Amino acid sequence: MSGTYGSGRLSREDYKKQKELEAARMAGTAPPERDAEGNEINPHIPEFMSKAPWYLDTGKLGLQHQRKAKPSTTTSINESKWYTRGSRIGSAPKKYRRGACENCGAMSHKTKECMERPRKTGAKWTGRDMMADERVESVSLSYDAKRDMWNGYDATQHKTLMSDWELVEEARRKRKASELDKSKEKDQSDVNANSIEAQFASSDEDDEDDDANVKSKSTVRNLRIREDTAKYLRNLDPDSAYYDPKTRSMRENPYAGKDPSQLAYAGDNFIRYSGDARDILKREVFAWEAGERGNSSAHLQANPTQTALMYKEYKGKTSDIKSTRQQEILQKYGGEEHLQAPPRELLHQEEAYVEYSRTGEVVKGAEPKAQTRYKEDVYAMNHSSVFGSWWSDGKWGYKCCKQTMKNSYCTGTSLNK
């Protein structure tokens, strides 16, 4: 095989001996060649794999150029040294040094980068309260380590947090118990002297119930509702919506393809853009635009009530301006009749099938009603019925007034009464 090709040009005899040695190694009569690490080299490996390219050739035998190179930088935070936050080097200087921070007097940063409280007169001019130099370290991390959300997290901080939380809970329980005791003493002082024995008989039970209530309230508040399903259990498909365990958020809909309005949970994005969320976003945009125009009093976080009133007034003025402009256009160009909706009778749907010609005549379907040249449903001489609608004693008359004379004036009352 192997790395002897890179040793330079060989003579005819040396080249012949090399070929014979390679044939003997392939046949197994000669011991195989070993690399720099002492591993045996397979003589049957072809030359294009065993021969290192010029940019990877180190002059050593072996297949190191075929193996994955070890990364030069660290791949995880555990393998590297992390920043020592808040530590300083040595003691504070006695006087100001040239090139140091003008605010605190440290040499590790400039004045613009100083994280100390801005002093009215810096340490450069006062020469007092000088700060020691900060420890500045360079930590080399890989691409993934730089983008790790748990980068620089110290697990011991969680124990400190839990101990502080337990102290707060204990203080809260004691305060609640003291408030209950005070309320009992006040109630007992108001009780009549005749019912003291009955009050003492029920006090032990009240103490037990109150203690149980205090403990149950503190425990129930810290527990999740059992009927409330965890977000990561909504859909167990690994290709479904992503659940972020640190922020406990699932932004996409875990039930893809279903109507979000019919689901109990459709992702955090659906909640974020439902209800009054869009109205709040519109108010925030209104506050931004008002600030750009010079109105500094419009601020959604600093002046929420004033901003809401200004936004309501802005919407009213906008609608009024829009309606006035519309009226001006209609008065100038006309066409107001086209904005009115057609009567509902024309929009009513029927099952009758009718075909019309280009001239509007009915070709097929419902037959047109017969029309006469006389006016219908017109009553003369104040009558409400026609002549001949009433019969009596062989005579015709009007039903409304019972008159038998044609074209007589209707009195509205029957003459036969």
Decide if 137 contacts 83 (C-beta within 8 A). Answer: yes
DSSP code of residue 4: G
Q: What percent of the chain has pLDDT over 90?
A: 21
Q: What b/e string do you get for 3-40 counting C-beta neighbours within 10 Å, with b at 16 or more?
A: beeeeeeeeeeeeeeeeeebeebeeeeeeebeeeeeee
Decide if 243 contacts 231 (C-beta within 8 A). Answer: yes
Partners of 313 in the beta sheet? Answer: none
DSSP code of residue 129: S
Per residue in 260-316, pLDDT (tens digit) is: 878 888 888 877 776 777 888 888 999 999 888 888 888 888 888 999 999 999 999
- The rounded distance, in Å, linking the Cα atoms of 317 and 320 is 5
pLDDT higher than 70, residue 411: yes
pLDDT higher than 70, residue 108: yes
- The rounded distance, in Å, linking the Cα atoms of 251 and 249 is 6
What pLDDT shows up at residue 9? 79
Per residue in 169-184, pLDDT (tens digit) is: 999 999 999 998 888 8
pLDDT higher than 80, residue 162: yes
pLDDT higher than 70, residue 41: yes
Q: What percent of the chain has pLDDT over 70?
A: 82
- The rounded distance, in Å, linking the Cα atoms of 133 and 87 is 9
Most confident region among 116-130, 333-347, 357-371 by mean pLDDT: 116-130
Quick one: which of 378, 383, 379 has its CA closest to 404? 383
What pLDDT shows up at residue 147? 85
Q: pLDDT category, 219, cuts 50, 70, 90?
A: very low
Counting beta carbons within 10 angstroms of the beta carbon of residue 1, is it exposed (0 to 12), middle (13 to 18) or buried (19 or more)? Answer: buried
What pLDDT shows up at residue 200? 46
pLDDT higher than 60, residue 368: no
State pTM to two decimals.
0.27
pLDDT higher than 50, residue 324: yes
Quick one: which of 265, 267, 235 has its CA closest to 253? 267
What pLDDT shows up at residue 3? 43
Q: pLDDT category, 149, cuts 50, 70, 90?
A: confident
Q: pLDDT category, 195, cuts 50, 70, 90?
A: low
Q: Write the CA distances from 33 to 2, 29, 40, 49, integer angstroms.
A: 8, 12, 6, 16
Decide if 210 contacts 180 (C-beta within 8 A). Answer: yes
- The rounded distance, in Å, linking the Cα atoms of 96 and 89 is 16
pLDDT higher than 70, residue 402: yes
Tokens standing for residue 122: 């810096």
User: What is the average pLDDT across 218-240?
Assistant: 71
| Average confidence score pLDDT of the chain | 80
Decide if 134 contacts 109 (C-beta within 8 A). Answer: yes
Quick one: which of 132, 90, 290 has its CA closest to 298? 290
Decide if 103 contacts 122 (C-beta within 8 A). Answer: yes
What pLDDT shows up at residue 73? 54
User: What is the average pLDDT across 59-83?
Assistant: 68
